[in-house]
Homo-oligomer: A and B are copies of this chain.
Amino acid sequence: MTQAPSPRQRQPLPQDLAGALAALLGERFSTAAAVCEHHGRDESLYDPVAPDAVVFARSQDEISAILRLCHQHRVPVIPYGSGSSLEGHLLAVQGGISLDVSQMDQVLEFRPEDLSITVQPGITRKALNEYLRASGLFFPIDPGADASLGGMCATRASGTNAVRYGTMRENVLGLTAVLADGRVLPTGSRAKKSSAGYDLARLFIGSEGTLGVISEITLKLHPQPEAISAAVCSFASVDEAVRTVIETIQMGVPVARAELVDALAIGALNRHFKLSLNEAPTLFLEFHGNASSVAEQAETVQGLAAGNGGSGFQWATQQEERNRLWSARHNALFAFLQLKPGCRASSTDVCVPLSRLAECVAGTEQDLRQSSIPAPIFGHVGDGNFHVCLLLDPDNPAEVEEAERLNRAIVQRALAVGGTCTGEHGVGLHKMDFLLEEHGLVAIDTMRAIKQALDPLNLMNPGKIFR
């Protein structure tokens, strides 16, 4: 495993604070080692750094009361949703408490006629769509994990549907956040657009818990498409697959999903999910619309794929077949882990301008050929966003170092072409240096000034995003 930048032993909370939290929350205040340990880790390779205590909030009022108490006692607070972040976001590197909102998982108000819904931050994306299923509406943002909506706001999450529906940035009408001193801050409105003052909602989306705790979210919903069609198509090279996607976007085809999965990844999917896909670089495509528009979109893309040597264009218009394909794509990580028994996965995450995607993927492939680490490439190539899943033995320092080296090369190639060091995972602990490299010191200083303005005591998830 990788040691966090600030490894740290748990320390007892100030006694007054512990007493007040216990009085407020009863058994929902915990200092049990296992509970703390569980809340001090995420899906990154970092060794856990446990918080000193964990609290489970059940309402916005409770969040506010907890923050007021922690503010009085100058104790850091780390918001916790489903624990699925990927860059060390949840590690208690400066101690303090983990504020778990997973019990705040209710729908507060569903307004189907407005295509919007107000939810608590702990509801997960799957639970939300389960709730919506019979309504004819859905919420499209689907990061790999069954993340909480609060966490998805905090990391500006996206996923496979972003190419058509946008990311969390585009799909939140407003949110309420509780500030470090316990004040409740409403942002946005229920209107679809607004020019009323600074865009505080967008400031919190992507703030990774460093500015406050998101306590309520009003989301934009979308009508479930009348018709859906999915296809897979394989190519001789990643380059040709990527070019097909680039041409699709440039032609304005409103493709709903355009996912690349490389040959190594397809092999893993075939074995794990008993599929028989051609073991070659493959696009998973999905089209949303009505019967005729879906057919047209698909025909256009099939033509583009053929022009790039794509073959075996397989259609899945039946829901069952489609679900089987996409479930394999969504659960690819489990298949990847089988490629190297006992390994852990570390996922890179860059996003580049579409025109530079092919060269960035090609450069990455070359890096990987010179590496001993098995590393499938996959990603949301319609957005220029791709991942490499580095499969390594976390107890082997040489492999961990090699993974860091590969990650660095991939990020630096992305930055060199005007891309970003993270398309959807966020900065956390792991990408603080890259953030500086991407935006420069004036930007980091500006972010720091905003942090200082909203959280002058530096209590909200301190030590993340920037130093």
Residue positions of A touching B, CB distance < 8 A: 111-116, 155-158, 162, 166-167, 169-170, 179, 183-187, 189-200, 202-203, 205-207, 222-223, 225-226, 246, 249-252, 289-290, 292-293, 296, 349, 351-355, 383-385, 414, 417-427, 431, 434-435, 438-440, 442-444, 446-447, 449-450, 452-454, 465-466
The answer on a CB contact under 8 Å between B420 and A189 is yes
| Contact (Cβ within 8 A) B193 A383 | yes
- Chain B contacts of A199 at CB under 8 A? 156, 169, 199, 202-203, 205-206
> When the two chains form their complex, are residues B200 and A351 in contact, meaning their CB atoms are under 8 A apart?
no
Cα(A418)–Cα(B196), bound, Å: 13
**Please, which residue of chain B has its CB at the minimum distance from the CB of A428?**
B195
Q: Are B438 and A196 in contact, CB atoms less than 8 angstroms apart?
A: yes
Establish whether residues A354 and B114, one from each chain, have CB atoms under 8 Å apart when the complex forms: yes
Q: How far is the CA of A290 from the CA of B385 in the complex (A)?
A: 28
Could you list 18 further interchain pairs (A-B, Cβ under 8 angstroms) beyond the known A155-B195, A195-B425, A196-B439? A111-B355, A115-B354, A156-B194, A157-B195, A183-B442, A186-B440, A189-B418, A190-B352, A190-B418, A192-B353, A194-B423, A195-B423, A196-B434, A199-B206, A203-B450, A223-B250, A223-B252, A292-B292
Check A449–B453 contact: CB distance below 8 A.
yes
Cross-chain contact A446 with B179 (CB below 8 angstroms): yes
Least CB distance, A214 to chain B, in whole angstroms: 14
Smallest CB–CB gap between A176 and chain B, Å?
Answer: 10
B113 and A194 contacting across the interface, CB-CB below 8 Å: no
With contacts A206-B195, A442-B186 taken as known, whether A252 is within 8 angstroms of B423 at the C-beta atoms is: no
The CA-CA distance from A170 to B422 in the complex, in Å, is 19
Instruction: Say yes or no: A354 contacts B113, CB within 8 Å.
Output: yes
Instruction: A355 to B109: give the CA distance in the assembly, Å.
Output: 14
Given known contacts A202-B202, A443-B197, is B384 in contact with A191 (CB within 8 Å)? yes
Q: Within the complex, what minimum Cβ distance (angstroms) separates A57 from chain B?
A: 19
CA A383 to CA B355, docked complex, whole Å = 32
- A250 and B355 contact, CB distance less than 8 A: no
Q: Provide a sorted-by-A list of 17 A–B residue pairs whose CB atoms are within 8 angstroms.
A: A115-B354, A157-B195, A184-B442, A189-B419, A190-B417, A193-B351, A193-B383, A195-B349, A196-B420, A202-B203, A203-B203, A203-B450, A226-B252, A292-B296, A293-B296, A449-B453, A452-B453
Minimum Cβ distance to chain B for residue A203 (Å): 6
Q: How far is the CA of A95 from the CA of B202 in the complex (A)?
A: 32
Complex contacts, A293 vs chain B, CB 8 Å: 289, 292-293, 296
Instruction: Select from chain B the residue with minimum beta-carbon distance to A422.
Output: B195
Taking a contact as CB atoms under 8 Å apart, the answer to whether A419 and B190 are in contact is yes
Residues of B near A452 (CB, < 8 A) are 453
Are B435 and A197 interface neighbours, CB within 8 A? Answer: yes
When the two chains form their complex, are residues A423 and B191 in contact, meaning their CB atoms are under 8 A apart?
A: yes
Cβ–Cβ < 8 Å partners of A418 in chain B: 189-191
